[in-house]
Structure 1
C-alpha cells in the first residue's frame, strides 16, 4: 500500500469530502493500485487552500491545506485515454461492513 499526496481542485474538494463524488480520474504515473491511499489537498489557482472557521478559503502551504484521506477501492483503465485510470474511492478509516 502506498500513500499518494495529490492536489485536488477546490471545485471538487467538498464533493469528494462529503461523498458526492466517489471516483478520481488520474494519469497513472504513480502506479496506483487498489488498497492505496490518496491524501487529497485542496488546491486552487496554483496555491493550496484551507477553510477558516468563518468558511473562507485562504492561501496556505501543503502542511496546513485542507486534506482528506481516501482509500482506493477499485481501479480500471476501461475506455480511458492512454495512461489514465478511474479509481473508485471511499473515506479511509470508515467501516461500512455490517457484521453478522
Structure 2
C-alpha cells in the first residue's frame, strides 16, 4: 500500500539528503513494514511539487503516545 503524506520543507530536505531516516506519525493509516510512503514537500501554504518515495522498514509504537508510531524509511530497492 502507498501512503501520500505532506511534510514540511526542513524535514523533507533532511530525508532527501539522507540525514533523516525515520518518521513519527499518527497511525490513522495503518502503516506497515513493506508499505511505501510518498512524501510531498509542503511549505505551510502550498505544495512545492517536490516529492520523495520511500519504503517503510520497521514500525513501532514503543514509548509513543497512543496511536502514534515511528517507522524507518528505506530506499525503494531495499526490501524490509
TM-score, L = length of structure 1:
0.75
SS of residue in 2 equivalent to 1:85 = strand
Moved over 4 A (4+): none
RMSD value, Cα: 0.9
1:90 to 59, 63, 74: 74
Equivalent residue number for residue 9 of structure 1: 8
Q: Deviations over 1:1-30 (max 9, x none)?
A: x00000011011111011110000000000
Number of equivalent positions: 78
Q: 2:25, 2:72 → 1: CA distance?
A: 11
Q: 2:45, 2:25 → 1: CA distance?
A: 18
> Which stretches in structure 1 are left out of the alignment for 5+ residues?
50-64, 96-100
Equivalent residue number for residue 19 of structure 1: 18
Q: Deviations over 1:1-60 (max 9, x none)?
A: x000000110111110111100000000000000000000000113101xxxxxxxxxxx
Q: 1:71, 1:83 → 2: CA distance?
A: 20
Largest Rg, 1 or 2: 1
TM-score, L = length of structure 2:
0.92
1:66 counterpart = 2:65: no
> Which stretches in structure 2 are left out of the alignment for 5+ residues?
none
